[in-house]
């Protein structure tokens, strides 16, 4: 795909789903990987007010490389970068924190890390007075999540899912996914064409992720039936209004422990952080 064609998909997604405007203070959650670098670069190129937020998970050499490359990328593209160190924040690096929680709960690596990361991203983005929080999630990620929600009998979780997750409760920063209609392989091609200093390897801890088999199955199926992922994300958006009639959206409250928005009395991140002590 030609770079301009790729950029126009992003432009159309922003326009069609009213993801952002030029008055927004946009914080892009940047991992050091290709997806978040591409979305930060394109939003900046389109003239949005963009800053980057990175969580240093302290996963040894892998995190160190990601952080250094991201610092170079942000400097070169004049994107202010905010880094939050998981060790400073929680008193220990993510792998240590995670393994204590896992011993007690049996959850996979990405589940524990993901809950705490999302909690921290929302908290820090709000502190930075962001009006939008961007992630690099793409069409492949979207199709995987929708399938996994169906497979686990959690269709109700598809209710608030899509290119834009409106901030329903006080304290929630609206999350947007401008790459929602971009295929992962097109993002990689764009990133390589631009020569972005990013790491293309997956996190070394993601080997036990439950989405891995779904990811592989979708890739194989996409090769045989082209358009599979696009059809899944399109159909989901078509039936979303019907889902709203089937399932009541859960009320947002504030965690009794940390005050962050949650659907439960105590948020999952606090539950995990308490277990990690």
Nearer residue to Zn ion within complex by CB, 37 or 267? 267
CB 52 within 8 A of CB 80: yes
Nearer residue to ligand AMP within complex by CB, 198 or 267? 198
Q: What residue is closest to ligand AMP based on CB?
A: 136
| Binding residues vs ligand AMP (CB under 6 A) | 29-31, 35-36, 53-55, 57, 114, 117, 135-137
Structure-token pair, residue 273: 């952080």
Q: How far is the CB of 228 from ligand AMP (least distance, A)?
A: 19
The entry of Zn ion, ligand AMP, none near residue 276 (CB within 5 to 8 angstroms by kind) is none
Nearer residue to ligand AMP within complex by CB, 101 or 110? 110
Q: 73: closest CA among 46, 43, 36?
A: 36
Q: How far is the CB of 36 from ligand AMP (least distance, A)?
A: 4
Question: Cα–Cα distances in Å, from 57 out to 40, 51, 97, 102, 204?
Answer: 20, 19, 10, 16, 12
The entry of ligand AMP, Zn ion, none near residue 31 (CB within 5 to 8 angstroms by kind) is ligand AMP
The entry of ligand AMP, Zn ion, none near residue 126 (CB within 5 to 8 angstroms by kind) is none
Four-point Cα dihedral 195, 197, 200, 205, nearest 10: -170
Pairing relationship of beta strands 253-254 and 132-134 according to DSSP bridges: unpaired
Q: How far is the CB of 108 from ligand AMP (least distance, A)?
A: 12
Q: How far is the CB of 29 from ligand AMP (least distance, A)?
A: 3
Q: How far is the CB of 140 from ligand AMP (least distance, A)?
A: 10
Q: How far, in Å, CA of 79 to CA of 90, rounded?
A: 27
The entry of ligand AMP, Zn ion, none near residue 55 (CB within 5 to 8 angstroms by kind) is ligand AMP
SS (H, E, C) 158-207: HCCCCCEECCCCCCCCEEECCCCCCCHHHHHHHHHHCCCCCECCCCCCHH
């Amino acid at each position: 795909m030609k770079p301009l064609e790729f950029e126009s998909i992003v432009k159309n997604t922003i326009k069609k789903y009213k993801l952002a405007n030029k008055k927004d203070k946009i914080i892009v959650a940047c991992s050091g990987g290709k997806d978040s670098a591409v979305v930060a670069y394109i939003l900046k190129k389109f003239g949005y007010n963009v800053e980057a937020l990175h969580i240093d998970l302290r996963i040894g050499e892998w995190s160190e490389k990601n952080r250094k490359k991201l610092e170079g990328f942000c400097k070169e593209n004049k994107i202010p970068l905010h880094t939050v160190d998981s060790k400073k924040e929680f008193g220990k690096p993510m792998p240590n924190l995670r393994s204590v929680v896992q011993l007690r709960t049996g959850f996979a690596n990405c589940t524990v890390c993901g809950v705490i990361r999302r909690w921290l991203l929302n908290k820090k983005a709000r502190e930075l007075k962001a009006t939008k929080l961007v992630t690099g999630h793409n069409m492949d990620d979207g199709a995987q999540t929708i399938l996994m929600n169906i497979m686990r009998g959690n269709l109700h979780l598809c209710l608030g899912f899509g290119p834009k997750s409106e901030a329903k409760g006080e304290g929630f920063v609206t999350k947007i996914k401008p790459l929602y209609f971009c295929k992962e392989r097109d993002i990689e091609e764009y990133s390589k064409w631009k020569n972005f200093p990013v790491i293309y390897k997956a996190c070394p801890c993601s080997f036990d992720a439950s989405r891995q088999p779904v990811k592989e199955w979708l890739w194989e199926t996409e090769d045989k039936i082209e358009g599979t992922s696009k059809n899944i994300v399109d159909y989901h958006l078509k039936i979303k209004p019907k889902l709203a009639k089937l399932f009541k959206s859960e009320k947002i409250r504030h965690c009794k422990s940390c005050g962050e928005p949650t659907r439960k009395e105590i948020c999952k991140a606090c539950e995990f952080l308490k277990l990690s002590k």
